[in-house]
Amino acid sequence: MRKTILRRLDVLEKEERSREQEERAPLQRALVYIWQIVLGYYLGDLKPYEGYEGDYKEDSEEAVLDYAGAHARALNYPSSFDFLNDLGERDSEISERYFDAYRRLFAKVGLDFDNAAPSVLFDAFVTMVNQLPEQSLNWLKSTLQKRCPSAEIGAGSNIPRELSGDNFLLWVRWCGQDSS
């Protein structure tokens, strides 16, 4: 009887973890896009493609701006291909690259990533998101609306409602690591 109870408890715990992970998935997907823009803009020199002379209103933002390349440059990868190649193979190296990027990003606004309170880092992050150029914010909102519709963005905001100081760091959240 005890074994049966333990097995049932184990099944219930697995179901609960699965349900929680399913609920967090839209926010995690949204974080990928948000960090792609933030790191790409502030560290990866996000800008329109060289020689682009088209009309931004007619062309998709994705075709006009090199978000993936800027994100890869922010993580000190020579190209987005190199970054994508490493994603499944070297988690610890990618984690270190994200932590290094976080440190460099927050140092730009005078914060020590390793010692600042998560709420202070989050406030700075929200400010950085809000100060993105209009075309980047438009791309971000459009992408979140299309690809992460259940990660609801509040009125007058540029980030999902569920985002907080406890869950805004992309790599820390995925790996379950502590930022210190």
Distance separating alpha carbons of residues 125 and 129, to the nearest angstrom:
6
User: Is 47 strand, coil or helix?
Assistant: coil
Read off the tokens for 50: 């060289």
pLDDT of residue 125: 94
Helix (H) or strand (E) holding 42: helix 2-42
Task: Supply the pTM of this predicted model.
Answer: 0.72
Those residues of the chain that have pLDDT short of 50 are 51-59, 173-180
CB 141 within 8 Å of CB 134: no
Find tokens 């408890």 and name the residue.
9
pLDDT of residue 123: 94
Distance separating alpha carbons of residues 122 and 105, to the nearest angstrom:
12
pLDDT of residue 119: 92
Distance separating alpha carbons of residues 30 and 128, to the nearest angstrom:
16
Find tokens 């760091």 and name the residue.
169
pLDDT of residue 55: 46
Paired strand residues for 48: 65
Distances (CA, A) of 33 to 5, 37, 86, 138, 176: 43, 6, 18, 12, 19
Distance separating alpha carbons of residues 26 and 160, to the nearest angstrom:
10
pLDDT of residue 112: 96
Q: Per residue in 111-121, pLDDT tens? A: 999 999 999 99
Paired strand residues for 160: 153
